[in-house]
Amino acid sequence: MLNSTIFFPEEIKFYREGNNFGYVTGEITFSGRCMNNVVISDKEKTTVSNSTNSFTIFYKGTTQVFPIESQSMSELGISLLKGKKIIYHTPSQVFARENLEKKNTSMLEDILAQSYGLTNIHLTPIKGSIRKEGLFHVLSKEGEFVLKNLGTKTARAKALFEVVQELPSFFPTGKKTTSGERFVCLSDGFYGLEEYVIGEPIKERSLSYYFELGGKIARMHRELSGAIERRGLQNTFLSECSHSSASNLIAINIDLAVNGHDSFLPETKRIMSAGFDVRRDFLDEAYIHGDLNQSNVILTSTGLKFIDLELLRFSRRVVDFESPLLFGRNMAPPLYLKSSFKAITQGYNVHSKFPIKEEEKEYVLYLLRYALLKNFVIRNIRRGEKNNRPETLAENLKLLGEEK
* Mean pLDDT of the residues in the chain: 92
Q: Do 138 and 85 share a structural domain?
A: no
Residues 106 and 68 in one domain: no
For residue 243, what pLDDT is reported?
64
Mean pLDDT check: name the lowest of 199-213, 246-260, 268-282, 350-364.
Answer: 268-282
Residue 339, pLDDT above cutoff 80: yes
Count of domains for the chain:
3
Q: What is the mean pLDDT of residues 35-56?
A: 96
- Are the C-beta atoms of residues 116 and 194 closer than 8 Å to each other? no
Is 248 found in the same domain as 339?
yes
Q: Which residue has the higher pLDDT, 66 or 331?
A: 66
Q: For the chain, what percent of residues have pLDDT higher than 70?
A: 96
- The CB-side HSE value for 212 (13 A sphere, CA atoms) comes to 13
22-40 tens-digit pLDDT? 999 999 999 999 999 999 9
pLDDT band at 94 (very low <50, low <70, confident <90, very high): confident
39 and 15 assigned to the same domain: yes
Residue 2 predicted with pLDDT over 60: no
Last residue of a domain, one of 196, 223, 245: 196
Position 59 scores a pLDDT of: 93
Task: Identify the pLDDT of residue 386.
Answer: 83
Residues 237 and 347 in one domain: yes
CB 192 within 8 A of CB 176: no
Considering the domain architecture, whether residues 56 and 185 belong to the same structural domain is answered as no
228 and 363 share one domain: yes
Inform me whether the pLDDT recorded for 4 exceeds 60: no
**Cα 259 to Cα 219: distance, rounded to the nearest angstrom:** 43
Residue at a domain's end among 33, 62, 89: 89
- Asked if residue 245 and residue 118 are part of one domain, the reply reads no
Question: What per-residue confidence (pLDDT) applies to 1?
Answer: 42
Q: What is the CATH number of the domain that holds 182?
A: 3.30.200.20
Task: State yes or no: pLDDT of 195 exceeds 70.
Answer: yes
Output the domain CATH number for residue 359: 3.90.1200.10
- Judge if 215 and 285 occupy the same domain: yes
Q: What is the pTM of this model?
A: 0.92
- Chain centroid to CA 200: how far? 24
pLDDT over 50 at 392, yes or no = yes
Same domain, 264 and 360: yes
Whether 88 has a pLDDT exceeding 60, the answer reads yes
- Are 185 and 216 in a shared domain? no
Cβ-based neighbours of 194, under 8 Å, separated by 6 or more: 145, 146, 148, 164, 172, 173, 174, 175
Would the pLDDT of 168 be above 80?
Answer: yes
pLDDT, mean of residues 40-59:
95
The Cα 265–Cα 256 span in angstroms is 7
Q: What is the mean pLDDT of residues 368-397?
A: 94
The answer to whether residue 69 scores a pLDDT higher than 70 is yes
Asked if residue 404 has pLDDT above 80, the reply is: no
Strand partners, 85: 11
Tens digit of pLDDT for each residue in 246-286? 899 999 999 999 999 999 999 999 988 887 766 677 799 99
Residue 275: its pLDDT value, please? Answer: 74
Q: What percent of the chain has pLDDT over 90?
A: 79
Same domain membership, residue 231 and residue 356: yes
Q: 89, 122, 148: which is the final residue of a domain?
A: 89
DSSP 193-244: EEEPPPSEE-----HHHHHHHHHHHHHHHHHHHHHHHHTT-GGGG-----TT
Residue 319, domain extent: 201-401
Q: What is the mean pLDDT of residues 325-340?
A: 90
Q: What are phi and psi of 207, to 5 degrees?
A: -65, -35
Phi/psi at 141 (5° precision): -60, -30
